[in-house]
Amino acid sequence: MTITTENPIIDLFLDALWMEKGLSQNTLSSYRRDLKLFDQWLQCTASPGLLQVQPSDIQSYLAARLRDQKSPRSTARLLSCLRGFYQYQLRESKIALDPTLDIDSPKLPMPLPKSLSETEVEELLSAPDVEVPLELRDRAMLELLYASGLRVTELVSLRMGQLSLTQGVVKVMGKGSKERLVPTGEEALYWMQRYMQHGRPLLLGTHMSDVIFPSRRGTMMTRQTFWHRIKLYAQRAGIKKTLSPHTLRHAFATHLINHGADLRVVQLLLGHSDLSTTQIYTHVARERMKELHTQHHPRG
């Protein structure tokens, strides 16, 4: 049997997806790979073509992936891709029924975001040498990140019109173009004021820019550059934990909840549209309490 590796039906779907939703090239590549593998499996098993499959064919494919020990997360992504593909075909009147309609997604374990203790955060924030303009900028960025729970992308893209030093708030345009006002806190406000007076003018030099945290060239810093800066300071502070670009955002939320903050307030500060997304931090707080109990209780 000849296995066809290219299928114009897949290309048409991906083109439509790109035009409708503007998905990234990485996401489109993942969808292409998932659909091609499913199409090839159908051909190898003499199953019907992509537009003729039944729910039982998809169940068989999912079972085959389970035998191959594919992760539940990749299977959930595959199923999401298939759902989008068949909903598109249904809209285009290429099929009469969506074969994914009654297929449940695999249950995924709730990942607990990696966080830092309050002591580790203090050490990280104190790592930059604030006598150096570049590191003063980084100190202000780290302080603002921890004080406000911004996403790294939101932080590096901040412009002057979004910051009010007199009111101590930043106006953030988050995911889905949703705007929110976030307080900076006194400590972050102090470092922001110090940076704006003694760091930013020296960094900009003759460059003109309204970016709050410019790079050495006076342009907007990339999130990757800032991530490298975080790793530099973590190493300098002797922090051995594996960090992510969102580590301080996670620490912000976890420490707020540890100190009794209302979950809905944390949801608003983080810019989560769904409370269930924020609830993961209550799990982090519970895990931390269990850990402390085990360490310090005489019968732990």
- What are the C-alpha distances in Å from 102 to residues 52, 79, 98, 282? 16, 12, 9, 32
Catalytic residue among 61, 88, 146, 281: 281
Catalytic residue among 139, 250, 255, 272: 272
Is residue 272 part of the annotated active site? The answer reads yes
Q: Rounded to whole angstroms, how far apart are CA atoms 229 and 139?
A: 10
Is residue 21 part of the annotated active site? The answer reads no
Residue 138 tokens read as 């980084």
Catalytic residue among 137, 246, 250, 255: 246
Catalytic residue among 91, 175, 207, 290: 175
Catalytic residue among 65, 139, 151, 200: 151
Is residue 216 part of the annotated active site? The answer reads no
* Cβ proximity of 213 and 158 under 8 Å: yes
Catalytic residue among 137, 200, 229, 249: 249
Q: What is the DSSP letter of 140?
A: H
Length, in residues, of the chain: 300
Is residue 151 part of the annotated active site? The answer reads yes
3-state SS, residue 275? helix
Residue 129 tokens read as 């040498």
Q: Which of 157, 131, 139, 175 is nearest to 220 (CA)?
A: 157
Phi, psi of 227, deg, nearest 5: -60, -40
The residues annotated with a catalytic role in the active site are 151, 175, 246, 249, 272, 281
